[in-house]
Amino acid sequence: MFKLIIKYFIINNYMDYDIVIVGGGIAGLNLCYQIIKKTDKLKILLIEKNNYFGGRVLTSKFNKDSFDAGAGRIAGHHKRTVELLKELDLWKDKFKINSNSLIILQTLTEEEKVINKGYPNFESIFYLLLEKINELENKPKLENFTIIELIKKYLGEKYASYSKKVFEYDSELSFMNGKEAIKNLKKDFTGDKNYYVLKNKNSSIIHKLEEKLKNKIDMKLNSELLKIEKEENRYNLTIRIDKEEKIITSNKLILTIEKDGLNKLDYLFKYRQLLDLSQPRPLYRVYAKYSKNKQNKSWFDGLPKIITDLPIKFIIPVNQQSGVIMITYTDGEFTKYWKNQFNKNCFDYFLNKDLKKLFPDTDFGEIKWLAHYFWENGAHYWIPKIDVDKVIKQIRNIEEDLYIMGEVYSRNQAWIEGGLECEDILEKLI
């Protein structure tokens, strides 16, 4: 009897919470921050399975060079992100980045070359598609198609193959729900938009949030949710904290983790069909540092972003002074090629082969280092043939006192902004 009383005392006094938030990425951290701004009367636990907070918002260091290996640019029109940065006193540290792109196409067919003369970039193809659709009396249900399927249907196969060559991303075209993709392309990829990076990189956002939360909530790294059980109006959670399993109870449970993590929880099996309406896609970023030439300049000095139809696909200069560049950035199906080359120890050879094709007369200098970052669940995308607004409402508050949020099930997928969407949940927690 004495042992039972002691166990009850420990659970209820040290392992009992008003709110448990699972996932210490930008979504979980920001939700905690928004809660404590409104009230200090809730006992909150935030757990993260990794040994760092931030998730896919990750700044890496290689020797003395630092760069964002996860979330990259910040959009000036993303209101939640900008507001958060201002509150954290980080907006003053922003630098506007060059939004220009150099498109180098080397595999065009004769028919595609004709298209290229009239439509030199994807934005021009995109607006041609919208124009064609707007002319129709019987307009299609955009959500039932991908962008590539719409291009094939209304512009033709050659325009579709050309679009994949001239646009830098795969998933938005070939995988994402067409209605959502059109919204996102209009908002984030067309017109004159301002984009920024932070002087101290994106992990500075995470560090600031950690400071705000310190001593106000309980925060645990190396902690993974293993099991969910519901007993009356409370959740009993089995959590592995530093290799030790503990039972924690909570009035409310919020899950901000990636979809693969949700799939591991047996309790959510009954919701699997609903949760599968958003799917992850890989991202592969490779950074390199090059030596400088006799003029003390990097080989890419003065170059903007480069989009190409070669496997290298997308090149983004990071720091021309230090010689750091994202030498290839691929997503979705495009990642398979480079992952295969890496696994066969052929990556460097094929990288240099592509670079020589793009810049045959350039002396690239010496590669000081290469840093590979393959994100299996780099970003998430709504699949076709669903009503996204309806699905989001269902998932956000999937059952009484259980909420699911984050970039995975947001209206701004693949952006920090998506992870910050929490207004509808916040009002139910306070």
261 in any annotated domain: yes
pLDDT in tens, 288-332: 999 999 889 999 999 999 999 999 999 999 999 999 999 999 999
Give the mean pLDDT of 120-143: 97
Q: How many CA atoms lie within 13 A of 157 on its CB side?
A: 1
288 and 370 inside one domain = yes
Any residues with CB less than 8 A from the CB of 52 and at least 6 apart, and which? 58, 221
Q: What's the mean pLDDT in 43-61?
A: 97
Residue 3 has pLDDT above 50, yes or no: no
Is pLDDT above 60 for 417?
yes
Q: In the prediction, which pLDDT does 190 show? A: 87
294 and 374 inside one domain = yes
Domain boundary, last residue among 191, 224, 254: 191
The per-residue b/e assignment along 386-420, b for 16 or more CB within 10 angstroms, e otherwise, is bebeebbeebbebeebbbbbbbbbbbbbbbbbbbb
| In-domain check, residue 101 | no
- Show contacts of 270-278: CB within 8 Å, 24+ apart: 271/398, 274/391, 274/394, 274/395, 274/398, 275/395, 275/404, 276/383, 277/382, 277/383, 277/386, 277/391, 278/380, 278/381, 278/382, 278/383, 278/408, 278/409, 278/413
**What's the confidence (pLDDT) of residue 206?**
98
Is pLDDT of 10 > 80? no
Structure token pair of residue 368: 């000081």
pLDDT in tens, 234-267: 999 999 999 899 999 999 999 999 999 999 999 9
Name the domain count of the chain.
Answer: 3
**CB contact at 8 A, 274 and 305:** no
**CATH code at position 367:** 3.90.660.10
354-398: pLDDT as tens digits:
999 999 999 999 999 999 999 999 999 999 999 999 999 999 999
Find, among 204, 187, 177, 214, the residue nearest to 390 by Cα.
177
Q: How far is CA 221 from the centre of its chain?
A: 21
Q: Compute the C-alpha angle 64/70/72, nearest 5°.
A: 90
Q: Are residues 182 and 238 in the same domain?
A: no
The reported pLDDT for the residue numbered 342 is: 96
Q: How confident is the model at residue 5 (pLDDT cuts 50, 70, 90)?
A: very low
- Residue 85 pLDDT more than 80? yes
Copy the structure tokens of residue 200: 């101290």
Tokens of 357: 């094709």
| Mean pLDDT of the region 140-169 | 98
pLDDT(110) > 60: yes
Are the beta carbons of 159 and 168 closer than 8 angstroms? Answer: no
What percentage of the chain carries pLDDT values higher than 70? 97
288 & 374 share domain = yes
**Band (147; pLDDT cuts 50, 70, 90):** very high
Together in a domain, 84 and 210: yes
Same structural domain, 319 and 186? no
Assigned domain for 114 exists? yes
Reported as a single tens digit per residue, the pLDDT across 179-214 is 999 999 999 998 889 999 999 999 999 999 999 999
Same domain, 175 and 233: no
- For residues 1 and 165, the model is more confident at 165
* Last residue within a domain, chosen from 169, 191, 213: 191
So what's the pLDDT on residue 159?
99
Asked if residue 42 lies in contact with residue 221, where contact means CB atoms within 8 angstroms, the answer is: no
Is 17 in the same domain as 86? yes
- The beta strands (E) that lie in 360-420 are given as 367-382, 402-404
| 99 in a structural domain | no
pLDDT of residue 191: 84
Q: Do 175 and 146 belong together in one domain?
A: yes
Q: Are 148 and 156 in contact (CB under 8 A)?
A: no
How many beta carbons lie within 10 A of that of residue 161, not counting itself? 19
Same domain, 132 and 171: yes
The CATH code of the domain that includes 390 is: 3.50.50.60
DSSP 8-state code for residue 229? E
Domain contains 70? no
pLDDT at 261: 95
Q: Tokens standing for 202?
A: 């994106």
Last residue of a domain, one of 365, 380, 395: 380
Tokens of 146: 């991908």
If you average pLDDT over residues 9-27, what whole number do you get?
A: 79
Domain enclosing residue 185, as ranges: 109-191
